Amino acid sequence: MKILVCITNVPDTTAKISFTDNDTRFNKNGVQYIIGPYDDYALARGVELREASGGSLTVLNVGESDSEPQIRKALAIGADEAIRVNAEPTDSYFVASQIAHIASQNKYDLILMGRESLDFNSGVVHGLVGEMLGIPSYSPVMQLDVTEGKAEFAREIDGGKEHLVASLPLVLGCQEPIAEWKIPNMRGIMTARTKPLTVVEPVDVDTMVTLEKYIQPAPKGACKMIPADEAEQLITLLKTEAKVL
Amino acid sequence: MSVLIFVELDQGSIKKTSQEAIYYGGKVAESLNTGATVLAIGNADEINLQVAGHFGAQKVLHVTESKLSHENSLAYADTLVQAVQQEGSTVIVMAKSGLGDAVAARAAAKLKASVVSGVTSLPDLSNGFKVERSIYTGKAFAIVDIKSDIKILAIKKNALEVVETDQIALVESFAPTLRDSDFAATVTNTEKASSELSLNEADIIVSGGRGMKGPENWDPLLELAHALGAATGCSKPVSDLDWRPHHEHIGQTGIKVAPNLYIACGISGAIQHLAGVNGSKCIVVINKDPEAPFFKAADYGIVGDVFDILPRLTQAVEASK
């Protein structure tokens, strides 16, 4: 089975968000970057499936050279090879077009990625890629098994989950608890250095959306503290003052 | 040409988040001097669909094809594209949700349209088509200018204050041509607690963290939620420990919520949890630790023992009914 896992390179979940250049650029200063947490789940399950059934696992990132530490980490976790499309990921359509272009050349059986990126949270890249390739896409997938070209998977729905069966190829957007995140071991880190990381230039895609400006949320006002022995007051305040009851 | 709004139904009625999408679409239609048409897929009485008029739609295209009685994002996207072509729409609106994302994505690729997700403002049409959207899980916003001819907007819950009228919409049936390839996956089983309020739809959420001390202690929280007509959620450690099901996990890597009222019980407020709730209009924090970081993000706070305070709040809610 040929598996493609697409990863994003995003600020750590604890990162404070700020902007520079008159609020037109993200301030990377002091920010730790990570593989998108949802992508980490996709990668972990991809590695398990490849270990169980053989084949190959390619990791793909659309990003500039500062993504490479995260790509090497994915190789250390168990990907066999990596492709980086050398471009700033500007919007979902651009990223999906790059992934679909690579995928159309290599005929993967399974394309996995996180349900959404942690920066722009759109949650649409898997669907775009699926449609661009003319194959089904499902998300958010929280269980996945593959046997003899058939995927049995479960996706989260409002208040529960739905179990499905479909033939490969498929594009799936993943989330927990599809697998436990994997931490690279020393052998993985050493071998990752020798695994192939191919850098390719992007294909041309029309600009769909341009960014004008970032905005920081307004600072929160002070919290009104209610003494514990007068806790019942809260309900009155929520009705009369906050008007949310 | 009309603005087309894709809505989701819950037991035959238009979901609240979709009502907000209709209102948004109606406002955009007014700005563009055109009409607003709703696409509704699934079983619903005509009277429940005419309600779309209250929120600003003139017409509802209703699809009752039995093959679509089960949510199917691939076939829904195909249906949406056919409705877009019939209406000549260049602006498509829907609520930001799991289904909305999936339908928006497949439709966007078919239409070569852009998708802007988590939209929090009406468009500024004075110079381009600019909207504000939520990014970094609510930790920031971005103003973006949409350049593509066809634009798909997924609206964040509670982005606009909806004003209802007594107008009703005309309901027409719509019969899409369906493709076999959209039915490639077979649903084998559905596990759904039908009585549960959806976190995405709920106006009030009561949520618990490790301060609840164990799954056996959830009753006081559930009783307050029941009294308030609220949905229940939890922090990531709680779902990781299997105290509560995963679909209740609220946070940066769980469900992002934007209710009118969010009551956090025994949750300290890690930055990842805050990112999932910062769209809430009003946040209440109950925690015995006065240094819990969540108090900094709260509108109201009580320092105290949740097991003492929750039953008293439930009593106060019942007494005020």
For chain A, give the percent of residues with pLDDT over 90: 91
Asked if B296 and A220 come within 8 Å (Cβ–Cβ), the reply is yes
DSSP SS3 for B183: helix
For chain A, give the percent of residues with pLDDT over 70: 100
A 29-88 residues with CB below 8 A of B? 37-38
Asked if B187 and A159 come within 8 Å (Cβ–Cβ), the reply is no
Q: Is the pLDDT of residue B193 over 80?
A: no
Q: Please tell me whether B304 is known to bind a ligand.
A: no
Q: What is the reported pTM? A: 0.93
Q: Is the pLDDT of residue A156 over 80?
A: yes
Task: Check if the beta carbon of residue B96 is closer than 8 Å to that of residue B135.
Answer: no
DSSP assigned state of B139: T
CA angle A100/A101/A105 to nearest 5° reads 110
Model confidence band, residue A84 (pLDDT cutoffs 50, 70, 90): very high
Distance in Å, alpha carbon of B117 to nearest chain A alpha carbon = 5
B 168-187 residues with CB below 8 A of A? 181, 184-187
- List the CATH code of the domain at B2-183: 3.40.50.620
Asked if A159 and B284 come within 8 Å (Cβ–Cβ), the reply is no
> What is the model's pLDDT at position B1?
79
For chain B, give the percent of residues with pLDDT over 70: 99
Query: Is it true that domain B204-320 has CATH number 3.40.50.1220?
Result: yes
Q: Is the pLDDT of residue B192 over 90?
A: no
What DSSP string describes A192-239? Answer: HTTS-EEEEPPPP----EEEEEEEPPPPPPPPEE--GGGTTHHHHHHH
A-chain residues near B140 (CB < 8 A): 17, 19, 214-217
Domain extents for chain B?
Answer: 2-183, 204-320
- Flag whether residue A127 sits within 8 Å of chain B, measured between CB atoms: yes
B196-242, pLDDT tens digit by residue?
Answer: 788 888 999 999 999 999 999 999 999 999 999 999 999 999 999 99
- Flag whether residue B200 sits within 8 Å of chain A, measured between CB atoms: yes
> What is the model's pLDDT at position A158?
78
Model confidence band, residue B194 (pLDDT cutoffs 50, 70, 90): low
B249-261, pLDDT tens digit by residue?
Answer: 999 888 889 999 9
Q: Is the pLDDT of residue B144 over 80?
A: yes
A37-50, pLDDT tens digit by residue?
Answer: 999 999 999 999 99
Q: Is the pLDDT of residue A142 over 70?
A: yes
Q: Which of B137-146, B246-255, B260-269 has the lowest mean pLDDT?
A: B246-255
A165-196, pLDDT tens digit by residue?
Answer: 999 999 999 998 899 999 999 999 999 999 99
B67-124, pLDDT tens digit by residue?
Answer: 998 889 999 999 999 999 999 999 999 999 989 999 999 999 999 999 999 999 999 9
Domain extents for chain A?
Answer: 2-216
> What is the model's pLDDT at position B70?
82
For chain B, give the percent of residues with pLDDT over 90: 88
- The pLDDT of B154-183, averaged and rounded, is 95
Taking one residue from A and the other from B, the number of pairs with CB-CB distance under 8 angstroms is 274
Name the residue with higher pLDDT: A227 or B255. A227
CB burial of B76-102 (b: ≥16 within 10 Å; e: otherwise) equals bbbbbbbbbeebebbbbbbbbbbbbbb
Q: Please tell me whether B26 is known to bind a ligand.
A: no
CATH code matching the domain that covers A2-216, chosen among 3.40.50.620, 3.10.290.10, 3.75.10.10, 3.40.190.10:
3.40.50.620
> What is the model's pLDDT at position B195?
63
Please name the residues in contact with B171: beta carbons below 8 A apart, sequence gap of 6 or more.
Answer: B46, B49, B50, B59, B60, B62
Bridge-based pairing of strands A81-86 and A9-11 is unpaired
> Is the ipTM, as predicted for this complex, more than 0.90?
yes
Separation between Cα atoms, residue A48 and residue B191, nearest integer Å: 26
Nearest to A156 among B141, B247, B260 (CB): B247
Separation between Cα atoms, residue B9 and residue B12, nearest integer Å: 6
Model confidence band, residue B178 (pLDDT cutoffs 50, 70, 90): very high
